[in-house]
Amino acid sequence: MIRRLLASLMLLAALAPLPARAVQPDEMLPDPALEARAREIGKELRCLVCRNQSVDDSDAPLAHDLRVLVRERLVAGDSNDQVVAYIRSRYGDYVLLKPPFQFDTWVLWSAPALILLAGLWSVGRYLRHQARMAGAPPLSADEAERLARILDEKPGP
């Protein structure tokens, strides 16, 4: 039973979709360290033809050209940051899949924190209100007697 379960799990794992990278074998660098750096860069660059794919994921000709360009510059000795800066100087911030924190993006990046703060503020306000209600003064003797009388009253016919 367990063996059969394991076998079917392994079969499922084999069928699971592998991350479909578009990087072609003839684009890859012989040096695995440089190729790994190229992958790291390619993951972060947006393909401007398909917009929501990275350069590594896209089959568009422009994405191919950019992958080749990234590798050429790495071979020429550029750092990762230099390669990204060059492509950003041509295509703008939009080419970065992760927008940088700067003047026109601070609202984007700080929105989650601001919304959290607003939430904390309203929860705090609510709790303080509750506490004030809970701390209401006890009934006076007079009030307690009146309450007992009301509770003792027989329901009407």
Partner 1 sequence: MRRWLYLLPVAVFVLMAGVFYAGLGIDTDVLPSPLIDEAAPQFDLPPLPGSRNGLATADFKGAVSLVNVFASWCVPCRAEHAVLNALAATKKVPIYGINYKDKGEAANAWIAALGDPYTRIGADDGRVGIEWGVYGVPETFLVDRSGHIRYKHVGPLTQADIDKTILPLVARLQQ
CB of 90 to partner 1, least distance (A): 4
C-alpha distance across the termini of the chain, in Å? 71
- 22 vs 87, beta carbon nearer partner 1: 87
Which residues of the chain form contacts with partner 1 (CB under 8 A)? 48-49, 61-62, 65-66, 69, 87-94
User: What does the alpha-carbon distance between residue 27 and residue 35 come to, in Å, rounded to a whole number?
Assistant: 9
- 23 vs 63, beta carbon nearer partner 1: 63
User: What does the alpha-carbon distance between residue 49 and residue 58 come to, in Å, rounded to a whole number?
Assistant: 9
- 4 vs 90, beta carbon nearer partner 1: 90
Which residue bears the tokens 């306000």? 125
Phi-psi region of 24 (alpha: psi -120 to 50; beta: other; left: phi over 0): beta
CB of 28 to partner 1, least distance (A): 19
CB of 91 to partner 1, least distance (A): 5
